[in-house]
A and B are shown apart, each in its own frame.
Chain A
Amino acid sequence: MAGNLIGQGGLFFFLPFAFALLISVFTSTIVAKSPSQDMSADSKTLAVPTTQPFNNFIRLVLTLASCVALVLMIPTGALVTAGFTFNETFLYWFPNFGFSFLLLGGILFIHLWSNKLPLTTQTFFFGVTSICLLILSLYGLLSEPGNNTLSSMHSPDTPSPTSAMDAVLIWRLLVIFGTSLILFLGFDHISLRSTSTKQRILVMLTGGSLIALWCGASLLHVPGQKLAQSTIPYILGAREILGQPGRILIGIAIIFGALGVVNGLLIYTYRTIMQISADLNLPLKTSPLWTQRVIALTATPTIGILMATGLAGETKLETYIYGALLLWLLLAGTRVMISQVARSLIQKNAHESTHPGLNLLLPALYLFAFLFSVINYEDSKSLFKFFILALLAATAAAVGWKFIARLPQHNQITKGDN
């Protein structure tokens, strides 16, 4: 996606990219300082916004819909891509699907083992991916483009900023980058509390800079038109920059990136479930480790079935992935709105000046991005079907959870074995 967009937009690509990064940083800051989260951490410190402006049930449904959609769809695509990459880059004789299932099995093992192992391995997965991309980016930026390659920065067919990236693409970039950046670079409920604002912003800016460096290096070595039209712009870039070693490096980055994405989404789902359980007073009947295991034991076989039944071979997977990201965007907007409204109530009760228009600017932007992206999507019908299916499944899960939460506590599993 990034490769295609930088190919289309040329250097102009960095403007919406910086905008998406800025929005992501603002969002994480607002949610991290959310009064409702402060309340759940220490109920004595703030006592004003006990009346939630949004129905808790709607928040629960949206959260579950977004989580389920993300944790099933993105890993299906990422693991299949990793399987093909391994087969085509490293071992031709090894079945691509076999490798995808091997990775999935590895992730399941990690999540069944202990609470700490997923976090430890996550650092390793992202570390390896980042190092590979950094080597490729720095080498690409410091080396001269090959003689047979036209740099799009100087080529006559460099796209003009006004025509190359239309509004749809700019908003799509915001959706994809905004959501993925804040999702994968530290925007989740629990770590936000334990991370300082400076640390969080530093992590997000570092991740954003790495992506920008990689995009810049690719643009320097591969003509923009080629990047825009290719289905594998990342491989084109790596191959042009470093040849066969470049292919190997990007192959490693794709495989470890896929592991990081699947592992990260399972961690994110676990944390979200734990947090919403505390926020909405919906006790879980299992210990934290067993909650993690139940999530992994539910999600990974489902991903396996989706892969085995050929979803990755269908174009609608891309629609579903896009739909999952849009649901998450809607959830992020809702959470920002809840935070802002709660803050306004506190300020109002403390007789401080409030800026309701300003407070609602970011949620309005999210809502606009959501609606604009849905309306302008080429297969809106499938997208709507996906939303309905995800929301129905989430509603059923929310009703089930509420029912189980009301059951007596004597069956609670409390023993964790890590």
Chain B
Amino acid sequence: MKKLVPVLLIMLFSVVPVFSGSVDKMNKDELKSLLGSETLVILDVRTGRDWSTSEFKIKDAIRVEGKDLSAASNFTKDHTFVLYCA
């Protein structure tokens, strides 16, 4: 049985799905350079524990609950929207 333990562990990790969408990403330095801009809108779209247990919450970011993105409708298309998801 003990020989099987590593095999079982590898199986456990192999079933972990990793999903990655094809969206433009921005690193923290790029975001930093935009902070303070009047056209910048940061939407914090993290939910559940992704948001609640995180120590990092961007100042002035708009918290979006669930899939309700209606907060974005208050801004024009000229704004730059940054979605903070992880």
Stretch of B30-38, B44-52, B70-78 that contacts chain A:
B44-52
* Chain B residues with CB under 8 A of A417: 1-2
Interface of A is mostly: helix
**Within the complex, what minimum Cβ distance (angstroms) separates A25 from chain B?**
31
Q: Which residues of B contact A84 (CB under 8 A)?
A: 49-50, 53-54
A225-238 CB contact bits vs B (8 Å, 1 = yes)? 00000011001000
Compute how far the CA of A80 lies from the CA of B1 in the bound complex, rounded to whole angstroms.
29
Report the separation of the CA atoms of residues A108 and B10 in the bound assembly, to the nearest whole angstrom: 11
Given A81-B49, A317-B49, CB of A112 within 8 Å of CB of B15: no
A104 proximity list for chain B (CB < 8 A)? 12
Instruction: Give, as a whole number of angstroms, the nearest-CB distance from B53 to chain A.
Output: 5
A314 with B5, Cβ < 8 A, contacts A80-B53, A84-B53, A84-B54 known: no
Closest CB-CB distance, B70 to chain A, in whole Å? 18
Contact A313 B47 (CB under 8 A): yes
Decide if A192 is an interface residue (CB 8 Å cutoff). Answer: no
Q: Is the CB of B49 within 8 A of A297?
A: no
Task: Determine whether B8 belongs to the interface, using a CB cutoff of 8 Å to chain A.
Answer: yes
A88–B55 touching, CB < 8 Å: yes
1/0 per residue, CB under 8 A from B, across A87-107: the answer is 011000000010001001100
Q: Which of A89, A232, A300, A314 contacts B48 (CB 8 A)?
A: A314
- For the complex, what is the distance from the CA of A304 to the CA of B11, rounded to whole Å? 12
Q: Among the listed B12, B15, B47, B55, which residue makes an inter-chain contact with A315, where contact means beta carbons less than 8 Å apart?
A: B47
CB pair B1–A112 under 8 Å, yes or no, is yes
**CB within 8 Å for A105 and B51 given contacts A88-B56, A313-B46:** no
A308 cross-chain contacts in B, Cβ below 8 A = 15-17
B54 cross-chain contacts in A, Cβ below 8 A: 84, 88, 232
B12 touches which of A97, A108, A311, A312 (Cβ 8 Å): A108
Chain A residues whose C-beta falls within 8 Å of the C-beta of B16 in the assembled complex? 97, 101, 304, 308
- Residue among B2, B51, B53, B54 facing the most chain A CB atoms (10 A cut-off): B53
- A9 contacts chain B at the CB level, 8 A cutoff: no
Instruction: Check if A101 sits within 8 Å of B53, measured CB to CB.
Output: no
B48 to chain A, nearest CB (A): 4
Report if A113 contacts B (CB, 8 A).
yes
Set of chain A residues within 8 Å of B46, measured between Cβ atoms: 313
Contact A232 B53 (CB under 8 A): yes
Contact for A300 among B1, B12, B17, B47, CB less than 8 A: B12
Q: How far is the CA of A124 from the CA of B53 in the complex (A)?
A: 25
Interface, chain A (partner B; CB < 8 A): 77, 80-81, 84-85, 88-89, 97, 101, 104-105, 108-109, 112-113, 231-232, 235, 293, 297, 300-301, 304-305, 308, 311-315, 317-318, 417
Given contact pairs A84-B49, A112-B4, A113-B2, a sample of 20 additional A-B residue pairs in the complex whose CB atoms are under 8 Å apart: A80-B50, A88-B54, A89-B55, A101-B13, A104-B12, A105-B13, A108-B9, A108-B12, A109-B5, A112-B2, A231-B52, A231-B53, A232-B53, A304-B12, A304-B16, A305-B15, A308-B16, A312-B48, A313-B50, A314-B48
Return the 6 tightest CB-CB contacts between A and B, nearest first. Answer: A231-B52, A313-B48, A81-B53, A312-B49, A313-B50, A314-B48
Question: What would be 20 A-B contacts, judged by CB atoms less than 8 Å apart?
Answer: A80-B53, A88-B54, A97-B16, A101-B12, A101-B16, A105-B13, A108-B9, A113-B2, A231-B52, A232-B53, A232-B55, A301-B12, A304-B12, A305-B15, A311-B48, A313-B48, A313-B49, A313-B50, A315-B66, A317-B49
